[in-house]
């Protein structure tokens, strides 16, 4: 039987308005390599020039730790101030 997959939508907040969002994306992709695959990236203006990255990621349904894996990977990157999981749904 094929393993199920889930889509996780996360909002990634950079440290400040000058933070390189492309660098955040590259670093997060490296940290999540083999765990989750980033399928779609959107930019969402927050306030005062701050722009969050809204990432749509696919990972196996049985991933140990669930969305904590994504939150921990993002939190370990210095350029990121906060990560918020906004949606999780089965693919």
**What DSSP string describes 39-64?**
EEEEEEEEETTEEEEEEEEEEETT-T
The number of residues in the chain equals 91
CA distances from 4 to 29, 60, 67, 91 (A): 21, 6, 15, 7
CATH 3.30.70.60 fits 5-90, yes or no: yes
Extents of the domains making up the chain: 5-90
For the chain (91 residues), the mean pLDDT of every run of 10, in chain order, is: 85 95 96 93 94 96 88 94 95 85
| pLDDT for res 2 | 56
């Amino acid at each position: 039987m094929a393993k199920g997959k889930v889509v996780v939508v996360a909002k990634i907040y950079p440290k400040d308005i000058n933070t390189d969002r492309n660098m955040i994306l590259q670093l997060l992709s490296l940290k999540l390599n083999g765990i989750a695959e980033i399928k779609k990236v959107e930019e969402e203006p927050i306030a005062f020039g701050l722009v969050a990255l809204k990432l749509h990621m696919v990972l196996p349904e049985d991933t140990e730790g669930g969305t904590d894996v994504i939150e921990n990977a993002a939190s370990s990157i210095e350029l990121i101030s906060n990560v918020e999981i906004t949606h999780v749904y089965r693919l």
